[in-house]
Amino acid sequence: MGGASLALTFAMLAGILLMRLLFSRKERRRQWFVAMWRPMFVRGMYKKPKTLPPLRGSENMYFLILFNHYHSLVKGEEKAGLNALADVAGIRRFALDALKQREMTRKITAAYALGFMKEPAAFEPLRKEALSENTVLSMAAATAMVYIDAPLAVRLLLPVFLSRADWPVSACDRLLREAGKEAVSATLKKAAFESDEARAPVVIRLLGAADEETAAEVVRHWLLHGTSDETIASCLQKMKDPRLLGFARKHLDHATWYVRLQAVTALGRIGGRGEIGALTRMLADGEWWVRYRAAQAIAAMPGMGKDELDGVMNALTDRFAKDILDHVIAETAK
């Protein structure tokens, strides 16, 4: 029994040593590839090479990793240069095949690469992967779809955005901004008007990717028809049109503190000096954050100087109002 245990121990040690050896060899190979190809990538951004060394085995994946790295760093003509380099290397077929494989890292790497290449043949396979339960893979596939065909991708992906709780709204917002206002606005407006109120706050939070007129229409629609605190607060947060300021004033007395917070913030963001009276009243709100945002809005009003701020301060009778305005004045003086 002792001999069997010893043999098993030796076998395990041998396996560990073999794994370390293989890893070390693979790492040296990767470092050699990067050292050789990095200058070719840099030159390729500006001048298409006539020939490139052939890629063998794992070198294809190393190429895609470097390709994605450099694509994420550059813009414009340099991106076109990288795509020309990829064509000379003949990497597109490998990337399409890698997207179909089971190994997740390879699929994600291939998805981004195919997006950067704007490979039309990848659009449908990427559409399938965008529905994957794996969050990272699905987001990578969605991003690639936008790179390939932004208007079509937005129309297909927006329902996915609204149905997946695992996709952060901030990530969806960045992706829609990448697609551009022209590709996004009409689709986002349609989704906002057809959405039920449970999903409306998510659509509203994405309005930064739409044009201003679309955003104003959607915000007005849900301020008129929305009933939930989250919907109203989301609308006030995205409000940029001064024509909607009446809605912000209306909600200064809302029962929910974070709605009042967004109403105060909206008045400060797009209101003028005529809002100082309403904002001054909110300095006595029962919620600290509401008082703080009101004080910030007053201090940031165009043309608001020290003498006028002192005048607002001297007119205050509420202790909490005086404290918060004094706090903000001290902050702005730093």
CA distance 218 to 89: 47
Closest listed residue to residue 221, CA positions, set 251, 237, 244 = 244
CA distance 210 to 186: 8
Residue 86 shares a structural domain with residue 74 = yes
DSSP state, residue 274? G
Residue 112 shares a structural domain with residue 205 = no
Residue 37 shares a structural domain with residue 122 = yes
Residue 45 shares a structural domain with residue 139 = yes
Residue 143 shares a structural domain with residue 157 = no
At residue 13, the pLDDT reads 54
Closest listed residue to residue 199, CA positions, set 237, 179, 228 = 228
Residue 11 domain-assigned?
A: no
Residue 271 shares a structural domain with residue 258 = yes
Closest listed residue to residue 105, CA positions, set 137, 62, 146, 58 = 137
CA distance 220 to 214: 10
CA distance 329 to 322: 11
Tokens linked to 152: 């079509």
At residue 1, the pLDDT reads 46
Residue 233 shares a structural domain with residue 160 = yes
Q: Which of 117, 148, 179 is the last residue of a domain?
A: 148
Inter-residue contact 153 to 175 (CB < 8 Å)? no
Residue 118 domain-assigned?
A: yes
How many domains are contained in the chain? 3
At residue 165, the pLDDT reads 86
Structural domain range at position 292: 250-334
What is this structure's pTM? 0.80
At residue 14, the pLDDT reads 55
Q: How far does CA 130 lie from the centroid of its chain?
A: 16
Which pLDDT tens digits describe the chain residue by residue (334 residues)? 444 554 555 456 555 554 554 456 677 787 888 888 889 989 989 999 899 999 988 889 889 998 998 898 888 899 999 999 999 999 999 999 999 999 999 999 999 999 999 999 999 999 999 999 999 999 999 999 999 999 999 999 998 888 888 888 898 999 999 999 999 999 999 999 999 999 999 999 999 999 999 999 999 999 999 999 999 999 999 999 999 999 999 999 999 999 999 999 999 999 998 999 999 999 999 999 999 999 999 999 988 888 888 899 999 999 999 999 999 998 887 6
Residue 143 shares a structural domain with residue 35 = yes
| b (16+ CB within 10 A) / e for 111-121 | bbbbbbbebee
